[in-house]
Amino acid sequence: MKKDNNDKNNLMLNKKLSRRDMLRLAGVGGVGLLLGGGAIGSLLASDKKTTSNASTILSQDQDSIPFYGAHQAGIITPSQNFICFAAFDVITDNVSDIRKMFQKWTTASATMVSGSLIGNVNDNPNLPPSDTGEAAELSPSRCTITFGAGPSLFDARFGLQNKRPPSFQELPPFKADSLEPEWCGGDLCVQVCADDLQVAFHAIRNLARIARGTAVLRWTQEGFQRSTQADPKATTPRNLLGFKDGTANPNVTDSKLMNEVVWSQSVDGTAWMTGGSYMAVRRVRMRIEVWDRSTLKDQEDTFGRHRHSGAPLGSKDEFDSIKLDALDATTGKPVIPSNSHVALAHGDGSIQMLRRSYSYSSGLDLKTGQLDAGLLFISFQRDLQKQFIPIQQRLANNDKLNEYAVHKGSAVFACFPGTTEGGFIGETLFGGI
């Protein structure tokens, strides 16, 4: 990152970015794999002080993603190589403290994603540095920082009960869940994604430092996917079970479709969320050791796709349509098993959501001697009740993948709309308080 310079502190934010040809993204019908990775997506980028809903689609080689815009970055942005996700608990009893924290968070975030150090006392030997410094001289690395509020923020502590969206609440219990409290919930969330893990960690560390006295970390999780260096063609990433994930994400270059699937609308009844999106987060531990002893046929029947190509069973290309009514000529059974992951996630194809997931590896589980590794599943949708919950209920009840994966963590967050320079993230909720 660059050293502090008051004249250049917002250089990257003030610089107009040229419009590029839109990325062609996979957009075949239906939801596809619920455990989808997030290599697919488009990048919303807005010029300084814009209030337009128009998007600038940036190519992967552009290193700085604007913080300000009609929507928060990090939702329809093409997925970066790494994620640092953090949930926070609010410890103050004054809602004005939360507002002030978000004002500071917004200023710091816009600075960090531009590639600058926070504050102006980083060279004073007699004062603590205003930035922790581990990202000094590093590039912005396409860093995005996305904020959200959990259902618990709307309890009686802050007088926000009447501002909670009617359908926004904690997820119901799902069959076969094995949730652990240390991986669940949170009053607030911060999702930081970047092409460098140290850049992403730097952002979480500094935001946690700024929050001291107002909010404390509840849980964190780092994640990864194949890097742009390892896969310059940006093909669909594979999860830790070796299968391509995220093949059938909706086409995020279609603004009408994004308004239907991802972005909250004024007609939904919660004005402050217009332009925001609802996030579901699930920490899914994979039983890798059991999976590795399974036959290839069993693995492919579990996912409903061919491992090598990613194509639906019975097809040749990854993006071929999913034909759930196709029957095997010999056995008369469905070519794609009805209890396969893709069959249940796809359903009748009428429900979609945007998945932006990452693999994780948290070392060895000392209790079992097995790897604590799996998927940090993240999805964005306009309505959790109408989109995420019905799909997850189908999967929880019948998914063959449940033999090899167990949900250990769960949280939902209302991700705020974006803001213009001079405003702050969360202003639509906290601005009048």
Q: Which two tokens stand for residue 134?
A: 């581990």
Q: Please state, rounded to an integer, the average pLDDT across all residues of the chain.
A: 88
Residues near 116 by Cβ (< 8 Å), separated by ≥ 6?
1, 2, 4, 5, 8, 9, 10, 12
Return phi, psi of residue 237, to 5°.
-70, 160
Compute how many other C-beta atoms are within 10 angstroms of the C-beta atom of residue 93.
8
Residues near 214 by Cβ (< 8 Å), separated by ≥ 6?
90, 91, 92, 97, 98, 100, 101
Which residue has tokens 């912005």? 140
Give the helix ranges, DSSP H, for 63-196: 95-114
Mean pLDDT is lowest, of 18-22, 155-159, 213-217, 345-349, for 18-22
Select the more confidently predicted residue: 432 or 66.
66
Select the more confidently predicted residue: 2 or 350.
350
Q: Is the pTM of this model over 0.75?
A: yes
At residue 61 the predicted structure's pLDDT band, cuts being 50, 70 and 90, is low
> Which amino acid appears at position 40 of this protein?
I
Q: What is the pLDDT of residues 174-222, one digit of tens each?
A: 998 999 999 999 999 999 999 999 999 999 999 999 999 999 999 999 9
Q: What is the pLDDT of residues 30-54, one digit of tens each?
A: 333 344 333 323 322 333 333 333 3
Q: Which two tokens stand for residue 158?
A: 């802050």
Q: Tell which residue, 31, 5, 103, 43, has the closest CA to residue 390.
A: 31
Q: What is the pLDDT of residues 368-385, one digit of tens each?
A: 999 999 999 999 999 999
Return phi, psi of residue 234, to 5°.
55, 50
How far apart are the C-alpha atoms of 65 and 402, rounded to whole Å? 37
How far apart are the C-alpha atoms of 410 and 285, rounded to whole Å? 12
Which residue has tokens 């942005």? 77
Task: Report the half-sphere exposure of 356 (CA within 13 A, side-chain side).
Answer: 28
Q: Tell which residue, 130, 114, 120, 137, has the closest CA to residue 10.
A: 114
Domain ranges of the chain: 11-430
How far apart are the C-alpha atoms of 144 and 112, rounded to whole Å? 9
Return phi, psi of residue 189, to 5°.
-135, 150
